Structure 1
């Protein structure tokens, strides 16, 4: 009788332990993009989510509803740190403004992966960087510009971004590459950008009206690209000045030809690698410090290519498992 009772008690203890294990919440990895619901950032979400599937880690995806909302983004980052999440994947909106919160997180040994920016602290066992290869992107754009202008002409650079380290590199690399491959193409206009699309439209409209006219507009951000598109739509007669943009935002203008081409970030691949780097940090392995992911050129001819359609797969993904 005693043996039977002991056996029953042992079975009960085992069952209780199993149930407790089943109810234990999964460790959470926070992800703070620059914004959500866009063609640029939702593929990042997909790349992270599909890599995290069956990893035993839960993803908390939370970013500002509006782009350029630096305060909200930093508050989300700080809240995740206070909640003691297991790690944070972070795409800073502004380099300098984000540096202090990253440094604070490093002091608490919070595993971090920084996406699409260089905030300053060197990579190490608990900090790694995954970014678009801006040099490769600038090369794609420079070759397209040289092709469109047959090696000579004048261009305007709009959307120059002084608040982002990667944005400044993008401009620098583009001008360097153009000087190498097409020295007879000159930059006639450089205009700083912001996240205000009506303002970017106004800037592009002024560029289209200037005398002497430029032969091509390079829009260095998605805001500037959209602004240039709207400016062309509003021009009378319709401007035929080609636009080469950066960072996918809208596809339709490429299909119609109002935007000639866009240098597209492979944010799905960036997300996949970022989560793998996070897993390495959590496992006590020092990850590769800096990883660059090649972008690609979106044109009317490549709109339906597998590379482009793979970025749109987030629309059909089963998000219920997250």
Structure 2
């Protein structure tokens, strides 16, 4: 394969408006999928779905994300660079505001499909938003926690990270729905877990220390809004011998969560469908490239798993797509 100077490739991409990258390589349409990160099993499921769609459609998919799920600058650079090499971009923005300008710039030349987490004021220029209905996911979690508490008690919420639209919407949905249970009081909701499981566990440990009351806690229920915050809280509860003594409803899937549900250490977790998200996002991007009509919003679904429904065939199948 002949080597071509990087500058020449960039100029060629700009001159063609970014729409004919497929003719410069293998002849296939090329789609870049840029997640928030690449280490969590959730993103590996998104990748599997994206590659499934690529195989069906005969297109090429590049899956590349930032090393850390709080590195906004690296993700912005990835969007810029991948837009020069691909016909369309699928992006899970780390920040609803910070990624807006680069997406608006790229979308003037080629389709950008947003997944997982929304982008602020982007309806006028993105091709589509393919994601979980995160607000409804938060409502599902609130109903589950309220039911497990019998509609009364004090609860705390450990949030994920400021600027993450998906988790902020889950938290907002939770607050909206929990208000419908007048016997439940949210006594703490200002703690942010952070981007990694270790940060989340440290935050959770400090929060539990503050909420300590005798051998237990001053709250009876806890909601956490993503995989890392749920994992960190579960490990902190276990570390203080409090797992199972307080009701915990989380978000996303992890082998540890399945074990905790079976042991009664968790009462529920709201699962997304990342495989379907990756699959539909690539199909939507390719359809847009073909000039076909695409939906402005595509809901990929949210499902509550509990100790009582783990053996349900549909639940088991969904869980399998999200575990190693």
1:210-256 CA deviation, whole Å, 9 max, x = no partner? 25511111111222111111111211466611211112244433333
Matched residue SS, 2:294: coil
Q: Are the equivalent residues in 1 in contact too, given 2:83–2:106 (CA < 8 A)?
A: yes
**1:284 pairs with one of 275, 291, 305:** 291
1:127-161 CA deviation, whole Å, 9 max, x = no partner? 11111112321222112111111000000000253
Query: Is 1:45 aligned to residue 52 of structure 2?
Result: no
- Calculate the TM-score normalised by the size of structure 1: 0.82
* Aligned equivalents of 1:261, 1:39: Cα separation in 2: 19
- Calculate the TM-score normalised by the size of structure 2: 0.81
Structure with a larger share of its residues in helix: 1
* Aligned equivalents of 2:228, 2:321: Cα separation in 1: 23
* Aligned equivalents of 1:96, 1:71: Cα separation in 2: 12
1:89-121 CA deviation, whole Å, 9 max, x = no partner? 1111111121121011022x2111100222135
**2:262 pairs with one of 255, 260, 264:** 255
51-60 vs 147-156, greater mean Cα deviation: 51-60
The unaligned stretches of length 5 or more in structure 2 are 1-22
Q: Are the equivalent residues in 1 in contact too, given 2:254–2:323 (CA < 8 A)?
A: no
| Structure having the higher Rg | 1
Matched residue SS, 1:53: helix
What is the match of residue 299 of structure 1?
306
* Aligned equivalents of 1:263, 1:62: Cα separation in 2: 26
Matched residue SS, 2:98: helix
What is the match of residue 3 of structure 1?
none
Deviation at 1:168, TM superposition (A): 2.0
Decide whether aligned partners of structure 1 residues 60 and 48 sit closer, same or farther in structure 2, where only a CA change above 3 A counts: same
Deviation at 1:79, TM superposition (A): 1.2
Q: Are the equivalent residues in 1 in contact too, given 2:272–2:301 (CA < 8 A)?
A: yes
Aligned residues: 292
Deviation at 1:87, TM superposition (A): 0.5
What is the match of residue 135 of structure 1?
135
